[in-house]
Amino acid sequence: MSIDINKYVNNYEFDYTLPGSNEVIMFKPITAGQLKKMLIYENETNVEIIENVLDTIISESVISEGFDINKLYIEDRFALLVEMRKKSKSEIYDFLYVCPECKKPSDISIDLNSLKTIKKNNNNEPFKVSDNLSFDIDQITREEQKIVHKKLEELEEKSETYKNIQKSAFSHAISMRTFHTPEGDTDDVSFETKLNLLDGVFTEKQYIDYVKWFDDNKFGIDFKFDFSCNSCGYKDNFNIPLNNFFV
């Protein structure tokens, strides 16, 4: 006798409100088969390859109509990934952390529900360049992060230090949105023009104020934990490592 066993399977669905866009995302738990895809890349050193794998897994799990991961803020994408981990594997994350001071390893257990979620501030004034020029600012999306990565690939012969500096500059430049002038508003401003504002037009104070905007307007999951070493007593606040987040 042929029996359709699929109708007896519990198909759980969850919803999550993104801290940035405030959009409600419906998703199903990540499956064992999807996790196996990740294990194939556990020794991969190319960050973008790993990020693309995560894009695929997230997109396969989201069931909201019209979902496009490229349109997500980077912070929203990460927050959604954490929520999927909670619903798919466990709300508790255990990992090994090595004390920066005495180098002794410690077993750490974090309740992911205890992590603080910061909502996005959408009431920002335009950034003033001059009396006649200002522009809106926004955090970058996954699509824009890919653009930054491609531009960094063009610097393959440069040093890692130079690349890191340019990565920051590229991200800050691509965060510039609508420009306001006496003639009207425009979104038609090239990436090169935006980059030149940072490097060739901004005063030192303007540059410092602009970079500070991103610190002042952080949102998403505060992925830090308070560490206290049982061996030497060293204490500090660190980012939670993601080495085995789904393993």
Tell me the pLDDT tens digit for each residue of 90-109: 999 999 999 999 999 999 99
Q: What is the pLDDT of residue 12?
A: 85
Q: Are 144 and 170 in contact (CB under 8 A)?
A: no
68 backbone dihedrals φ, ψ, rounded to 5° = -135, 105
pLDDT tens, residue order, the chain (247 aa): 677 766 666 678 999 999 999 999 999 999 888 887 777 777 777 888 889 989 999 999 999 999 999 999 999 999 999 999 999 989 999 999 999 999 999 999 999 999 999 999 999 999 999 999 999 999 999 999 999 999 998 988 888 889 888 999 999 999 999 999 999 999 999 999 999 999 999 999 999 999 999 999 999 999 999 999 989 999 999 999 887 787 6
Both tokens of residue 44? 């991969």
Nearest to 211 by CA among 168, 174, 179: 168
Both tokens of residue 101? 């001071």
Ranges of each domain in the chain: 11-118+220-239, 127-216
CA atoms within 13 A on the CB side of 161: 0
Q: What is the pLDDT of residues 3-19, one digit of tens each?
A: 776 666 667 899 999 99
Instruction: Indicate the pTM of the whole model.
Output: 0.90
Both tokens of residue 175? 């965060």
Whole-angstrom Cα distance, residue 195 to residue 193? 5
